[in-house]
Amino acid sequence: MLEKRLLQIAHILSVAFSPFYAPIWAFLWLFFFSYLKLLPLGYKLLILGIVFVFTILIPRLSINLFRHLNRWSHWQLSHREHRHMPYVLTLLSYSACLMLFTQINTAMFFRGIIMAAIVAQIVCVLVNVWWKISTHMVGMGGLVGMILSFSSIFFYNPFWPGCALILLSGVLGTSRMILRQHSLAQVLVGFAVGFFSSLICLLFAWI
């Protein structure tokens, strides 16, 4: 009974903190917990709408279509040898989002969030050739890197939000191992990839 309950909790956490949601979590954090909350509501909704369409809606629809065309289950799609095309489809959508942000002249750190996600995914594609990496932890590592980067840009203390995200990262990483989707090494490497991609891209974007 306890094992079944743990599996249910692990599954709920994996769905709630899907790597698809990492960019929109980042923008929501900016719009609620930084001085950017002073931006007009219409502008914030426009940015969130663009992020939702290009980082969640289009990737999910295209990946599901690809899965159905190949008659694969969700479990089969998670196999390392089947993950290349989902990565490519997601990269194309994220690249389109970055291009649109450039066209409408958004702030550089907005573009930096999308660029960090693109860089992290490129690393995942390369690593996936020979090893499976946890994209859930890539997303969480990216959020932690974002918190630290914006603490430098906006001059605030990142201690409590940083601690909360690191704790959540540990819980999510444990969930992925409980579900037997990843090993400890894959969880840790995934977090490191997201963290350093976010840290480097966001600080570089600001400079």
DSSP assignment of 170-185 equals HHHHHHHHHTTS--HH
Output the CA torsion sign for 201, 203, 205, 207: negative
User: How much is the pLDDT for 206?
Assistant: 57
Beta carbons within 10 angstroms of residue 171's beta carbon: 14
Q: What DSSP character marks residue 3? A: H
Q: Which residue, among 137, 116, 138, has the nearest Cα to 197 in the 3D structure? A: 116
Domain residues for the domain of 139 are 2-206
Dist CA 80 CA 82 (whole Å): 5
Domain count of the fold of the chain: 1
The tens digit of pLDDT for each residue in 157-169 reads 888 888 999 999 9
Q: What is the pLDDT of residue 35?
A: 85
**How would residue 189 be classed by pLDDT, with cut points 50, 70 and 90?**
very high
Which residue is associated with the tokens 């579900």? 179
Query: Which pLDDT does position 79 carry in this prediction?
Result: 60
Question: Residue 88: what pLDDT?
Answer: 85
Residue with tokens 């196999």: 79
Res. 74 pLDDT band, cuts 50 70 90: low
Q: Is the Cα torsion angle 107, 31, 135, 186 positive or negative in sign?
A: positive
pLDDT for position 28? 93
